[in-house]
Amino acid sequence: MIPLNYYLATAIVLYAVGMYCLAVKRNMIKLIIAVEILTSAANLNMISISSYAKPGAVDPLGHAFVIMSIVIGACVVAVALTIAVYAYKHYGTLDVRELRRLRW
Amino acid sequence: MKVLPFSEYAPWLVWLIPLVGSVLVPIVALINKRLRDWFAVVTSFVGAAYSLSMIPQVLNLHGGVVDLKVPWIPQIGLQAGVLIDSLSVFMSIVASCIGSLIMLYSIGYMAHEEGLTRYYFFMLFFIGGMNGLVMADNFLQLFIFWEIVGLCSYALIGFWYRKESAARAGIKAFIVTKAGDVLLLIGILMLFIQTGSFNFLNTKDAVEAGKLATSILMASSILVFGGAVGKSAQFPLHVWLPDAMEGPTTVSALIHAATMVKAGVYLTARTFSIFSSVHEWLMIVTYIGSVTALMTATMALVSVDIKRVLAYSTLSQLGLMITALGVGSEAGWFASQFHVMSHALFKALLFLCAGSVMHAVGTTDMREMGGLRRHMPITFATSMVGVLALSGVPPFNGFWSKDLIVAAVLHERLYIPLILIFLASLCTAAYSFRWLALIFFGKEPHSGESAHLHESPLVMTVPLMILAAAATLSGFFEESFSEYLGLKHGVGIQMAPLTLSLLALLLGFIPSYIVYFRGSVSPIIFRRGSLEAIHKLLSEGYYFDRIYYAIFLDGFPRLCGWIHSQVEDRVIDRINYAVAGAAQFLSQSFRPTHTGNLNYNMSAVLIGLAGFFIIVMVLVGW
């Protein structure tokens, strides 16, 4: 059986990838992908810990939360993509630096 | 006690009819304008009929009192009620009968005015309020009607509200009397806290039983009299009444003869039985009354406005009534009430005559009048009666009542008030004959306009004739009036007061005759040399208006402005600006870090995360 630490290390790597992507990329679609990577890092973290919570058994609560998180993540992506589409229509670009009208 | 069926509801109806009628006036006005006028007049006459119907009931009482009560606010044990005794019924008759004659006169006098629905509404409301005031059996009810009367006076004095001076005069009347009203309210509440009742009779019983501390009784009696000073325009709150001449003449007649200013005299007479044991109260009442009487009579000597002379004379006559009340004897009380009736008759008459004159000549300045006796014979004859009654020529009613006042003051040996009212009567004779001479005698200043001069219509002259007849005859009913009031006071002419009254009359009449009737001495000499300063002092009304204006209209806003600039601007606003400025400075200094660039923000998240891990590692102890 693979030890828990491997899973957690994978989650940290995923988190780092997502963060790096958010900090460096300017394309809105790429940012949305980065957010999804961050979410999957969190999901992986949670499901692996719940699987190792008791010896020989799996905690169903963690699984239930992760399923819910995936569903909500799908919704978030849908909304985010809609915003991206409208932003593109409005500004003619996907560069996130252009969305600074509220800054005075 | 036998109560006539007609009179059973009369004490209520006498004020409910005008009050309800006044509310109906705007509704009737929708149907027909002429109907509205006559509706108001008929309503006031019905009210007058009800007030007269109470006379037999009062005569049956023989000076007793009936107090009819109904629950008002039972939760706190408050009762509304009407008090039927000779005083309340007498005042109600004065208010409603003279009020209804004035309403009749209004039909002719106000025929061509605008806003008559408002006028008739407030006139009826005024009469109803005054009747309610005098019929009330407790201080609280009295105070409510007291304020209704004040409101109506404000609205009617400022009837021509587009004229700035009229609007200002209305506000002035309201605010000056309000100063007295506040004192009255404090006095009423002090009595209520001490006795637990607003009722006049209960209060009187409590005072007689000695439940009140002397100091409390004295303070509350003086405060209640303060209300009367405001309403009856006594010194030092007399300044509103001359300005109240800005209203229509009918309103002046109503205020002076029937309603507003009589409320103060009524209150003093009503509370007389409660407070008469307080010696200081009597002193204050006498001195305020006699000082007012003399001071305002001298002001009337120099006024050239036809109505202002009458206004000052009202003040002076009210001063006489208050003086007589302050004498503290039954004779003084009776003299004051008798003078209320005389004054109501001749002053209503004089005002309506003045209205008739103004209707014809279209000015209020007496210097532009003269020689009107040929053009307006009825007005002249009735004015003559009014002037003779006002100056106290026998056998007109003013003579009898003034004689009683002088006799009462003399009997109590109050020599300073006696001198003051003697001089006041002297001035009264002088200014009233001057008034008559300037208007009806002498040459006509503008001979070309005399063709337009005409006698007033019958609807105006009939009330004049009724009032003139009453002013001539009412003096002879002294004995029956005394009997009506239920007094055992013996009336009759005594030598000393009679001599004094006639001496004052003669001394006042002679200079007036020489200067204004004969014209052998020009009135200009009164404005020359050392007399000029006195003339100026009198025509400025002893500078009371100037002082009040300087204090309350200029001084007080200036004080407020100073406080505003010193406290508001310098302290309070500065604190606010300092707080706001600090917050702004703080946010401005953080502003450069907020670039709005997502990448920077995320980098900051990473740095923060790294910092968090470092802190955790340090704490865990790696």
pLDDT tens sequence across B272-290? 888 888 888 898 899 999 9
> Which of A26-35, B7-16, B591-600 is the most confident on average?
A26-35
φ, ψ for residue B138, nearest 5 deg: -140, 165
pLDDT tens sequence across B147-200? 999 999 899 888 888 888 888 888 888 888 888 999 999 999 988 888 888 888
| Residue B622 confidence (pLDDT) | 67
pLDDT tens sequence across A33-75? 999 999 999 999 999 999 888 777 888 888 999 999 999 999 9
Asked if A23 lies within 8 A of B594 by C-beta distance, the reply is no
| Residue A102 confidence (pLDDT) | 63
| Chain A residues closer than 8 Å to B596 by CB | 100, 102-103
Cβ atoms < 10 Å from Cβ of B304: 13
Mean predicted confidence (pLDDT) in B119-130? 91
Cα gap B505→B510, rounded to integer Å:
9
| Residue B196 confidence (pLDDT) | 82
pLDDT tens sequence across A68-103? 999 999 999 999 999 999 989 988 888 887 777 766
Q: Which residues lie closer than 8 Å to A13 by C-beta, 6 or more apart?
A: none
Interface test with B, best of A8, A12, A103 (most B CBs within 10 A): A103
Q: Does B604 touch chain A (CB under 8 A)?
A: no
Q: Does A35 touch chain B (CB under 8 A)?
A: no
pLDDT tens sequence across B20-48? 999 999 888 888 888 888 999 999 999 99
| Chain B residues closer than 8 Å to A26 by CB | 599
What residues 507-566 of chain B have any CB closer than 8 A to a CB of chain A? none
Nearest CA-CA distance, residue A11 and chain B, Å: 15
Q: How many residues belong to chain A? A: 104
Bond from prior residue into B236 cis (ω within 30 degrees of 0): yes
Task: Please give the mean pLDDT across all residues of chain B.
Answer: 84
Q: Decide the pairing of beta strands B78-84 and B66-73.
A: antiparallel
Radius of gyration of chain B (CA): 31
DSSP letter string, B120-178: HHHHHHHHHHHHHHHHB-BHHHHHHHHHHHHHHHHHHHTSSTTSHHHHHHHHHHHHHHH
Q: Over 50: is that where the pLDDT of B2 sits?
A: no
Nearest CA-CA distance, residue B609 and chain A, Å: 10
Q: Over 50: is that where the pLDDT of B3 sits?
A: no
| Chain B residues closer than 8 Å to A19 by CB | 602, 605-606, 609
Asked if B599 lies within 8 A of A26 by C-beta distance, the reply is yes
Hey, is B297 helix, strand or coil? helix
| Residue A40 confidence (pLDDT) | 93
| Residue B248 confidence (pLDDT) | 87
Q: Could you tell me the two tokens for B473?
A: 């005859």
Cα gap B171→B176, rounded to integer Å:
8
Mean predicted confidence (pLDDT) in B389-401? 85
Confidence bin at B4 (pLDDT 50/70/90): very low
Mean predicted confidence (pLDDT) in B73-86? 83
End-to-end CA distance of chain B: 112
Nearest CA-CA distance, residue A57 and chain B, Å: 30
Asked if A100 lies within 8 A of B594 by C-beta distance, the reply is no
Closest CA to B316 of B228, B159, B423, B414: B423
DSSP letter string, A44-66: HHHHHHHHTSBTTB--HHHHHHH
Helix (H) or strand (E) holding B80: strand B78-84
Q: Does B609 touch chain A (CB under 8 A)?
A: yes
| Residue B1 confidence (pLDDT) | 41
Mean predicted confidence (pLDDT) in B493-516? 82
The answer to whether residues B98 and B345 touch, using CB atoms and an 8 Å cutoff, is: yes
For helices B200-208 and B164-195, angle between their N-to-C axes, nearest 10 degrees: 50
| Chain A residues closer than 8 Å to B597 by CB | 97, 100
| Residue B451 confidence (pLDDT) | 56
pLDDT tens sequence across B559-568? 999 998 888 8
Closest CA to B19 of B136, B132, B116, B95: B132
Strand partners, B305: B365
pLDDT tens sequence across B330-356? 888 888 888 888 888 888 888 888 888
DSSP letter string, B307-354: HHHHHHHHHHHHHHHHHHHHT-SHHHHHHHHHHHHHHHHHHHHHHHHH
Q: Over 80: is that where the pLDDT of B490 sits?
A: no
Mean predicted confidence (pLDDT) in B464-484? 83
Closest CA to B262 of B131, B360, B380: B131
Segment among A4-13, A80-89, B149-158, B396-405 with least mean pLDDT: B396-405
Cα gap B552→B537, rounded to integer Å:
21
ipTM field: 0.72
| Chain B residues closer than 8 Å to A24 by CB | 599
High-pLDDT (> 70) share of chain B, %: 95
Closest CA to B234 of B259, B275, B264: B264
Mean predicted confidence (pLDDT) in B215-234? 89
The answer to whether residues B460 and B250 touch, using CB atoms and an 8 Å cutoff, is: no
Nearest CA-CA distance, residue B580 and chain A, Å: 19
Please identify which residue in the block is written with the tokens 């004192």.
B183
| Residue B438 confidence (pLDDT) | 85
pTM: 0.75
Q: Does A1 touch chain B (CB under 8 A)?
A: no
Asked if B598 lies within 8 A of A19 by C-beta distance, the reply is no
